[in-house]
Structure 1
Amino acid sequence: MIQVWSTDITYVPMKRGFLYLVAVMDWYSRYVLSWQLSNSLGIDFCLEALEKAFQHGNPEIFNTDRGAQFTARKFVAKLQERNIRVSMDGKGRALDNIFIERLWRDVKYNQIYIYNNKDGKSLYEGLKQYFLLHNERKPHSSLNYRTPAQVYFEILEK
């Protein structure tokens, strides 16, 4: 049974400004279900990430912060159409979404800050490799030294 997914956006510093990265993650397994990169903070890239995540099924609960993209009627409606309960973090409480905040720290310190991405394309390719590594090859101590993919797909088999 898939219980809780969460999403968040992080800013990625580039030579000229920022790009924006959104991810949808399964809390229990830490499996990154989907992610999208955008040059604007509009809602569209968040909706695209949500639709891609739905290819994995539906959670019981979907947790977000109170960002404009996630409180937008269009975003909330997508969840409600699937009878998914919406959970929003307390105002100013990043630790309510600790798993995805930890993901952002790891992404930034193990990918973004190490590799000087000259443009969006090189950033995208680096992130694609990073999330593959995160899901398929990186064991987590909190998962009994299994990878997020091993744990996530075990859940689906039950």
Structure 2
Amino acid sequence: MIKKKFGADFKARVAIEAMKETKTVPEISSQFKVHPTRIASWKKKLLTGAKDIFLNERGNHDLSHAQEIDELYKKIGQLKVENDFLKKTAYPG
């Protein structure tokens, strides 16, 4: 049996439909032709991942800021090594 692959948009649409609770899972299953277990799984992923939508507004900024700081520290280290090397070659002994 070949597994069907579903896109993220389709999964989101089905999960949101399940979240509305206006239809039962078997009704949604027959409407979208998806196994009820998958619907439950997608609904659970939507519930657990929903908070990330709001964290990313600030979270990405924090992450990129932390990455920028790390890159700057690496650059400082690299420049310090280069500076020390040049000092040794320019003023031997």
- TM-score range for the pair, normalised by the shorter chain length: under 0.3
Between 1 and 2, higher relative CO (CA 8 Å, sep ≥ 6) is seen in 1
User: Relative to total residues, which structure has the larger strand share, 1 or 2?
Assistant: 1
User: Relative to total residues, which structure has the larger helix share, 1 or 2?
Assistant: 2
Greater Rg by CA:
2
Provide the TM-score with structure 2 as the length reference. Answer: 0.26
